[in-house]
Amino acid sequence: MTNDEWFLNSAKELADRLLPAFDTPTGIPKARIELKGGRTSDNDWLRGSSVLAEFGSLQLEFSSLSVLSHKPIYREKVEKIYDAIKKINPDLLVTCFFSDPLSGNKFISMGGLGDSYYEYLLKYWLLFSKKDEKMGKWYLDTANEIIKQLGHRSSDGMWWLAKKRDGHTIYEMEHLACFAGGMFALGSLHIEDEETRRLHLEVGEGIGRLCWEMYNISPIGLSPEVAYLRIINDKFNLSIADSPHWLMRPEAIETWFILWRVTKKPIYREYGWAMFKNIEKYSRTNFGYSGIRDVRRLPLQLDDVQQSYFLAETLKYLYLLFSSDKNIPLDEFVFNTEAHPLKIFKSLMN
């Protein structure tokens, strides 16, 4: 975006230091790497598994770097990950704890551990101007499967995407999963079949409404990390779960921003403005902004941490929600999972 070679050279240096992590039998990278010496390791708590959201959200950055640096190796490494997923996993919905061979414990989630993998199926297709038809089909088939297996619609039009462990439904909604509303809305712009396009936009808007209700159940109008969900007479009843902290997360405002760009319905700006006012009222301090330990209890106890993504994502999406569509237009850029805009390339080769 600056055309300053320093940024490109720095990105190449970092990527080169990360490459040894990909030297595994499947090509799925190790979770950790020592940047100075290249020593790699797994996370101990994973017991040999890899986290889907980690190795599934490298494709935009590494492929963009290949195009800009004219070095194919970065893109080759991340595309090998997709090859491994297709080979090892027989289903469109992939367990968050990925191993070769797959373990018996299958945990499917659009929230933490799984979220950005699904986000990148769509965005990787968009990054190269939808030239890769197989990637587009993979996203569309997966999105339809998400609706079929995880989707629940309330009688008043909200949508919820369940989590499942070994086939059993977990009745809770993570704030992290709110990104999916934006994913479905953005994806709907690129679906040719009219009925499917309408369904995906409906799901996106329904998730956007559900996430708004997560803010409404809090006395201070800021969402807890997780909400319990009960279905009563085909309506969703939300309550604050055992994770009542507000961590400054961007996923809801990300979805409302995309929904505003796609539908131009004023309600999404109203949601964003209410969120912003509550951030100013309850989170702002003399020296920055802070998370909140428990959104249910007054007086509030701040956690004394300003998350990096609060600047990179939450405030950025709030700003873009009220800016012109010409500011980072969605037909020219895709946002990576941390809201950094990447320029769309005209072809697969570029």
Could you tell me which CATH class the domain 106-343 is placed in?
mainly alpha
Tokens representing residue 240 in the block? 């604050």
Task: Note the residue count of the chain.
Answer: 350
Q: Which amino acid is it at 341? A: P
Residues with catalytic function: 225
* Count of alpha carbons within 13 angstroms of residue 222, beta-carbon side: 28
Quickly state the pLDDT bin for 47 (edges 50, 70, 90).
confident
- For residue range 241-291, list pLDDT tens digits in order: 899 999 999 999 999 999 999 999 999 999 999 999 999 999 999 999 999
pTM over 0.85: yes
Does residue 206 carry a pLDDT above 80?
A: yes
Where in the chain are the domains? 1-87, 106-343
Percent of the chain scoring above 70 in pLDDT: 99
Nearest CA to 74 out of 133, 10, 11, 139 is that of 11
For the stretch 301-329, pLDDT in tens is 999 999 999 999 999 999 999 999 999 99
